Amino acid sequence: MKNRIFNTEKTLNAILYIAERLKRSDFHKVFKILYFSDREHLIEYGRPITGDTYIAMNYGPVPSNLYDIFKSVRGDSFFKDTGVFSQYFSVDDGKIIKANKNADLDELSESDIEHLDNAIKIYGDMSMKEISEKSHDYAWKNTPTNNYIDLSDIIFEAGGDSEYADYVKENYFAKTLEYA
């Protein structure tokens, strides 16, 4: 079940922030850095950074909306980028994200940056195999391939319980729907 409110502007600036700090910012690495950042931010603050919905794919969780954006810039999506996204980044060699401008840090909170930095520090130098294995956690294993990962499973993986998961869902969605 799709269960988040996607924040496009924050996500694009998080991508720029990550791309500026990784030696190699390929789709896979960026997706996993975001997943770990979102997961840890969610358990600590009751909200993810991006609001994207993760799908359990073969090599781990993939942010659904962002993957569509990456494919649109690359030119092989069901929708075409009209320059909205390519002003932020380009895609080289079919999978390398190259920042076209600096991240607007006003779009990211201090806690967003803290969790992005932490994920980059822990996972940024890992190989594709290593980071895939790390992302094959409870949430991923509990979801059939190519299906949406439930927010509760991400919370359980990060150490939360069902009471906290219910609290986050109730409060996070109530707040985000006020602004939708």
Report if residue 1 sits inside a domain.
no
Compute the distance between CA of residue 3 and CA of residue 173 in angstroms, rounded to an integer.
9
Domain extent for 175: 8-179
Compute the distance between CA of residue 136 and CA of residue 86 in angstroms, rounded to an integer.
31
List the one residue out of 64, 67, 84 whose CA is nearest residue 27.
Answer: 67
Cα angle value 102/178/36 (rounded, 5°): 45
Report if residue 72 sits inside a domain.
yes
* Residue 69 CB partners (closer than 8 Å, separation 6+): 8, 11, 12, 81, 85
Report if residue 138 sits inside a domain.
yes
Is 46:125 a contact under the CB 8 Å cutoff? Answer: no
Report if residue 30 sits inside a domain.
yes
Per DSSP, what are the bridge partners of residue 101? none
pLDDT in tens, 62-106: 999 999 999 999 999 888 898 999 999 999 999 999 999 999 999
Report if residue 98 sits inside a domain.
yes
Say how many domains are in the chain: 1
Report if residue 2 sits inside a domain.
no
Report if residue 147 sits inside a domain.
yes
Report if residue 3 sits inside a domain.
no
Note down pLDDT in tens along the chain; length 180 residues.
Answer: 344 588 999 999 999 999 999 999 999 999 999 999 999 999 999 999 999 999 999 999 999 999 999 999 999 988 889 899 999 999 999 999 999 999 999 999 999 999 999 999 999 999 999 999 999 999 999 999 999 999 999 999 999 999 999 999 888 765 544 433
Cα angle value 68/173/144 (rounded, 5°): 50
